[in-house]
């Protein structure tokens, strides 16, 4: 499974602009088009109340662009109290006149479940109406529904086709998504070079998602020579545009001393920037700094506070960490049942560490433990280097799963011996349809560099994910 939260890059509601005009002492406009243009002028000046006045004048005459713009103001709470029901009303009026932007925006409300029951089929219905008119944001949103399998059968080929339609019209978010499919080999042959090409096209137009993804390619050495300095440069470009994921990535580089001098204070600063934007990953990373006492006084209460913030957003790593805190009684009374509850939440999302913790805790009534720090630059004591796969062939599909076009991730528990060979391989998250057997069969062939502590190989128990995705 890709170790990254998938960026849907869906387009929120858009405001229709019919050419901004400068204000003057000329008579107040009376035609709907002119009234919308004047409203847009006020909109550019962030004078939302005045913009609303002129949009309403045009909307009273049935102007669809004005109706869409009124809805946009209500959706975002600009100049008025945020009101999704009012937004729904105005978007519907404009969409019923065949306005493509309003059709796309109405689909967005159905997808998010704002003022209506969440309904992906209805969202797709409105997106298609707009997409049939060549609306680039709707095309991107259709691609996203197919990529995620929301309201439709997951279909990467369809996702790629719709992303390409949007990308060919210059939509940089769609270009990023095309690159993402190439990076992962979804609906196409995996091709990091193609991914980089698409990311660069969007990044050269200032798209922060593309800049962040280019950084990831360089950080991990995917299709390019691994270069943390180049990765940092791209992350920084995205971070200065306020992209939370890039800010979190910079914090991680500083925390682990990757391409920079290890600096927990700088790591904390970047994590906080991202956390202030609600990044669950950054909230989790901040909690980890407090949990381990890296660059600050160890504070289990503060760690738990940050983990809870991230867990509220359903971040599985944070949920797993809360379980760990309760399992070991770190700043809270030791509570196995509470630990099991949080491990279960994370395990339900396929979090391999949580699955492993859940298994160990359920089999060992009084299990306790300590956190083993992974060695990094500047950290060479009381740490272990984890096992690293050096031979890991891909699994084969079972005929039954292939015929059914069935996809998913199987999680296995295994022990890596001091000789680097897997032992005692067992399924802890089943897929069925013959895929569990295929996963065990292939993992038994894997070879690892064993975990090392104090210069000596040690046996370790790990959980691994085996992905089964059709291309």
Q: Write a three-state SS string for the chain.
A: CCCCCCCCCCCCCCCCCCCCCCCCCCCCCCCHHHHHHHHHHHHHCCCHHHHHHHHHHHHCCCCHHHHHHHHHHHHHCCCCCCCHHHHHHHHHHHHCCCCHHHHHHHHHHHHHCCCCCCCHHHHHHHHHHHHCCCCHHHHHHHHHHHHHCCCCCCCHHHHHHHHHHHHHCCCHHHHHHHHHHHHHCCCCCCCHHHHHHHHHHHHCCCCHHHHHHHHHHHHHCCCCCCCHHHHHHHHHHHHCCCCHHHHHHHHHHHHHCCCCCCCHHHHHHHHHHHHCCCCHHHHHHHHHHHHHCCCCCCCHHHHHHHHHHHHCCCCHHHHHHHHHHHHHCCCCCCCHHHHHHHHHHHHCCCCHHHHHHHHHHHHCCCCCCCCCEECECCECCCEEECCEEEECCCCCCCHHHHHCCCCEEEEEEEEECCCCCEEEEEEEECCCCCHHHHHHHHHCCCEEECEEECCEEECEEEEEEEEECCC
| Confidence at residue 402, expressed as pLDDT on a 0 to 100 scale | 84
| Confidence at residue 382, expressed as pLDDT on a 0 to 100 scale | 55
- Checking if the pLDDT of 139 tops 90, the result is yes
- Checking if the pLDDT of 468 tops 70, the result is yes
- Checking if the pLDDT of 208 tops 80, the result is yes
Percent of the chain with pLDDT over 70: 89
| Confidence at residue 362, expressed as pLDDT on a 0 to 100 scale | 65
| Confidence at residue 26, expressed as pLDDT on a 0 to 100 scale | 58
Percent of the chain with pLDDT over 90: 70
| Confidence at residue 25, expressed as pLDDT on a 0 to 100 scale | 53
The model's confidence at residue 360, banded by pLDDT at 50, 70 and 90, is confident
- Checking if the pLDDT of 285 tops 70, the result is yes
- Checking if the pLDDT of 259 tops 60, the result is yes
The model's confidence at residue 426, banded by pLDDT at 50, 70 and 90, is confident
| Confidence at residue 471, expressed as pLDDT on a 0 to 100 scale | 62
pTM greater than the 0.85 cutoff: no
| Confidence at residue 28, expressed as pLDDT on a 0 to 100 scale | 81
pLDDT tens readout for residues 46-69: 999 999 999 999 999 999 999 999
The model's confidence at residue 13, banded by pLDDT at 50, 70 and 90, is very low
pLDDT tens readout for residues 436-451: 999 999 999 999 999 8
- Checking if the pLDDT of 5 tops 60, the result is no
- Checking if the pLDDT of 325 tops 50, the result is yes
């Amino acid at each position: 499974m890709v170790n990254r939260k998938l960026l849907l890059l869906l387009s929120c509601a858009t405001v229709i602009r019919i050419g901004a005009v400068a204000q003057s002492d000329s008579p107040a406009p009376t035609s709907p088009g002119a009234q919308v243009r004047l409203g847009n002028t006020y909109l550019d000046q962030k004078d939302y109340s005045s913009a609303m006045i002129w949009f309403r004048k045009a909307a009273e005459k049935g102007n669809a662009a004005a109706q869409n713009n009124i809805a946009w103001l209500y959706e975002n709470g600009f100049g008025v109290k945020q009101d999704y029901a009012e937004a729904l009303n105005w978007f519907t009026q404009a969409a019923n006149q065949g306005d493509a932007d309003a059709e796309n925006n109405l689909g967005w409300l159905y997808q998010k479940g704002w003022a209506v029951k969440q309904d992906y089929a209805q969202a797709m219905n409105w997106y298609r109406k707009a997409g049939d008119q060549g609306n680039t944001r709707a095309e991107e949103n259709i691609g996203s529904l197919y990529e995620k399998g929301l309201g439709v059968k997951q279909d990467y080929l369809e996702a790629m086709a719709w992303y390409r339609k949007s990308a060919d019209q210059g939509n940089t978010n769609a270009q990023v998504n095309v690159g993402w499919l190439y990076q992962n080999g979804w609906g196409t042959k995996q091709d990091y070079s193609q991914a980089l090409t698409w990311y660069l096209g969007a990044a050269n137009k200032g798209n922060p998602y593309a800049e962040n993804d280019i950084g990831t390619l360089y950080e991990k050495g995917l299709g390019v020579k691994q270069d943390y300095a180049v990765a940092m440069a791209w992350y920084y470009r995205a971070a200065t545009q306020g992209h939370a994921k890039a800010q979190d990535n910079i914090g991680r580089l500083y925390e682990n001393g990757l391409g920079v001098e290890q600096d927990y204070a700088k790591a904390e600063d970047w994590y906080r920037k991202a956390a202030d934007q609600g990044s669950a990953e950054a909230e989790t990373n901040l909690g980890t700094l407090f949990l381990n006492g890296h660059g600050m006084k160890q504070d289990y209460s503060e760690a738990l506070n940050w983990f809870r913030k991230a867990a509220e957003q359903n971040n599985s790593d944070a949920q797993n960490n809360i379980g760990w805190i309760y399992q070991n009684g770190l700043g809270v009374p030791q509570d196995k049942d509470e630990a099991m509850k949080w491990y279960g939440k994370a395990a339900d999302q396929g979090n391999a560490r949580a699955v492993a913790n859940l298994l160990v805790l359920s089999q060992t009534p009084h299990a306790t433990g300590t956190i083993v720090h992974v060695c990094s630059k500047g950290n060479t004591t009381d740490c272990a280097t984890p096992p690293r796969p050096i031979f890991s062939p891909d699994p084969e599909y079972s005929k039954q799963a292939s015929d059914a076009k069935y996809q998913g991730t199987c999680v296995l528990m295994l022990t890596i011996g001091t000789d680097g060979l897997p032992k005692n391989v067992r399924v802890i998250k089943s897929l069925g349809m013959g895929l569990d057997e295929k996963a065990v069969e292939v993992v038994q062939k894997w070879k690892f560099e064993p975990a090392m502590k104090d210069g000596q190989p040690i046996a370790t128990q790990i959980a691994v994910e085996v992905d089964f995705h059709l291309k």
